[in-house]
Amino acid sequence: MIGVRVTVPISCFRKGYAREYLETHLLPPPATCYGFLLSLVGECDRQRHIGCRVTAGLISAPVKSVVLRKVWRVKNPRPEARENIRPDYQELLSNLELVLWLDSAEEDRSRPTLDKRVCSTLEYPEHTHRFGGLSLGESTHLVNDVSVIKEISKLKGDLEATMFLLDARGEQTLPVWVDHVQSTNTRYVTGTIQTRNLNTLSRDEIPMIIPP
């Protein structure tokens, strides 16, 4: 298991069913974290690292704000139609400092696993072929910096983080696989958002990336 520290100036992890008021989750869902890591290593096939486990831990206290922005919806097949555009309120989180916990023990070990590719990319970025800006959340929410945590003791503050962990009796459902064409094939897991000491984290508590 490795930890990937990420800082993001501004982001939004939009709730799947938010329509008129674009609410944000406190943390990026596992599916969002997985997509971010694939983008980091330049992987376009999202089936490539099925079986890895990933979740986010928040080690800062982000500020929540609300903005009024232009939102696109397909009400009319003509792209220029005015009814496709409307203003809506959106929640934003500022000054996020996260740790993405990644475990590749249950991936296909016959080829490089995602944790090894992330470490290799950050150590030898000149050997990785990727494209586009690196963002967490929407494509305009670019990250500030990314690094692998080799020593937890070097994190700021204490060793606790607020994270999403599996819990059959939990009150939160977050996606581990998103169907971008029709939501019926989006897969969710149940868990709780809890504050935990980073040294007590167990692999079995981290959501696994599996399609339906």
Per-residue pLDDT of the chain (212 residues; tens, 9 = 90+): 889 999 999 999 988 777 778 899 999 999 999 999 999 999 999 999 999 999 999 988 899 999 998 887 777 778 778 888 888 899 999 999 999 999 999 999 899 999 999 999 999 999 999 989 999 998 999 999 999 986 665 555 557 889 999 999 998 999 999 987 777 789 999 999 999 887 778 899 999 999 98
> Contact 4/136 with Cβ under 8 angstroms?
no
The whole-number pLDDT of residue 81 equals 81
Amino acid occupying residue 194: Q
Distance (Å, whole) CA 107 – CA 64: 36
Which stretches does DSSP call E strand in 131-181?
Answer: 145-149, 160-166, 172-177
3-class DSSP state for residue 39? helix
What pLDDT shows up at residue 208? 97
